[in-house]
Amino acid sequence: MELQFRIFRFDPEVDSAPRFQNYRVQADPWERILDCLNRIKWEQDGTLAYRMSCGHGVCGSDAMKINGRCGLACQKLVKDYEGAEVVLEPLPTFKVLRDLIVDLDPFFEKVKAIRPYLICSKAAPEKERLQGHEDNLKLNEVIRCILCACCTAACPVTSQNERYLGPAPLVWAFRYIFDTRDEKTSERLEQLDSPDGAWGCVNHFECTRVCPKEIPVTKSINTIKREIQKKIRGK
C-alpha cells in the first residue's frame, strides 16, 4: 500500500525556519513506520535525519511525534495508518538539533539528578543480598523504562515548568525508592517532595498513554506521592 508522509525538516545550519516535506512510500501493512523512514532516507532523500538503533522498541532511539502522539517509530505499524497522512515531528519540549533529532542532554541530566544507582553502605555479603520475591516484583514494571523520553515530551507540565523532573526520572526514582536494598529512601523522597519533583505531576496521564513499554507511569508517581505523605510529611 502507499503511504503519504509529511515530515518536519529543519537544519539550523542553513534553514531560517522549520518546514514540512512530503514523501510517498510503498510499504506492506506489517512494516514499521521506521521501515518507511528508512525507505525514504535510503531510496529518496538521504538528507533526512533521525535516530534509530535496535528497531524493536528496546533501545529508545527513535522516539518522535507521530500524528500528534509521542511514540517509537519502530513500534508503529503501517496497517494502523491506512488512508491517513502520517505526520512526523520531533519530540516536543526539547530543542531540535536537526529534522527529527532533538537534544536529550537535559533529559539525561534529570535522570542523573535522581542518583540512578543503589546506595548501600553496608558491607556486601559474600553471596547475593536476599530480597523477597514479592519485593522484587514491585520493581517489575518500572524497570521496563528505556529512557526514550516519550513520556517527558508528552507531559503538559514539562513544557510549562522546565525545572520539573518529569515522568521518566520519577520512574527511575521509584525503582530505587522501592528497592529494599537501597538505604537512602528518605533522602530520595525528600528530594522529590517539591513542586519540581513528584508534586509537579497533576495527573494528566499523558505519560501513561504514550509509554511504549506500557509502564503505569502516573500510578507510579502517585505511589511516590503517597510514600512522601506517609514517610516524610507524616513524621
Residues at the contact surface with other proteins, assessed by CB under 8 A: 11-14, 30, 32, 41-43, 45-47, 49-61, 75, 77, 97-99, 101, 104, 108, 112, 115-118, 120, 124, 126-133, 135-137, 139-140, 143-144, 146-147, 175-176, 179, 181-182, 214
d(C-alpha 223, C-alpha 176), whole Å:
13
Q: What's the maximum distance between 2 C-alpha atoms anywhere in the chain?
A: 63
Rank residues 49 and 232 by Cβ distance to other proteins and give the closer one.
Answer: 49
- Residue 65's DSSP bridge partners are 70, 89
CB 8 within 8 A of CB 99: yes
Nearest distance, CB of residue 181 and other proteins, angstroms: 7
Nearest approach in angstroms of CB 202 to other proteins is 28
Q: Please state whether beta strands 85-89 and 63-66 pair in parallel, antiparallel, or not at all (unpaired).
A: antiparallel
Q: How near is the Cβ of 234 to other proteins at its closest, in Å?
A: 27
Contact 40, 48 (CB under 8 A): yes
Residue number, 136 or 161, with CB nearest to other proteins: 136
- Residue 86 — φ and ψ, nearest 5°? -105, 120
**Residue with smaller CB distance to other proteins, 76 or 225:** 76
Q: Report, in Å, the least distance between residue 194 CB and other proteins.
A: 22
